[in-house]
Copies of this chain bind each other. A is one copy, B any other.
Amino acid sequence: MGRRSDHSREEIQAMAITAAAKLVEAEGFQSLTARKVAKAIGYTVGTLYHVFRNFDDLVIHLNARTIDEMAALIQQQIRKKRNPEVRIRVMAEFYVQYATDHPDRWRLVFEHQAPRGLPTPELMKERRDVMFELVAENLRELAPDRIPHEVAHTATALWSGIHGICILALTGKLYLGGAFSMVKLIETLVDSVLNEFRHR
């Protein structure tokens, strides 16, 4: 066969990313392969390599979409709230929610890594700090006279901590059960860091 032009480059890209997302959710990110994605969209691997530089490039595009989806969901939720502290708590709540609802897509964002030595792709750089900046924005509103550096520092510490709880819980490395829950752990962390932020 040859040139079909049923779909443009961009369409094939989008189809591939969508198919990859579904495969990851259905079978886990560890068993995502280029051949499966190609088959799912009715093309062969070759076409995939015509549209993505390599398999990592496909994964990076999928991860970018995952981050965009998650950020959109979270921003939609905090738009309903006026109080910056409440907003931060809602952000944490829905971060956990998204991670729990799409564990494999979420883990792929953090556990994928391009081959050693290569620089972080632009697509990821743009999205790396989106959550941190969202937290920092609201911390700033919570205490407008704090110096920016301090705000950014606290935002980083808080959000990294929340992320840690998510990762360990989702990978089964956290004892949960009984009165133990992710939600309560996150609450403790948010309470602690916010109190510390206020009182000094």
Contacts and interface: CB of A to CB of B under 8 A. Distances in A.
Nearest to A165: B160
Interface of A is mostly: helix
A162 B189 CA distance: 11
Most buried by B among A28, A157, A175: A157
A174 B156 contact: yes
Contact of A28 (B116, B161, B174): B116
Nearest to A184: B153
Interface of A: 28, 30, 110-111, 113, 115-116, 120, 128-129, 132, 149, 152-154, 156-157, 160-169, 171-175, 178-180, 184-186, 188-189, 191-193, 195-197
26 contacts: A110-B167, A111-B111, A128-B175, A132-B175, A149-B178, A149-B179, A153-B184, A153-B185, A154-B188, A156-B174, A157-B161, A157-B165, A157-B188, A160-B164, A160-B168, A160-B189, A161-B164, A162-B164, A164-B165, A164-B166, A188-B193, A189-B193, A192-B192, A192-B197, A195-B196, A196-B196
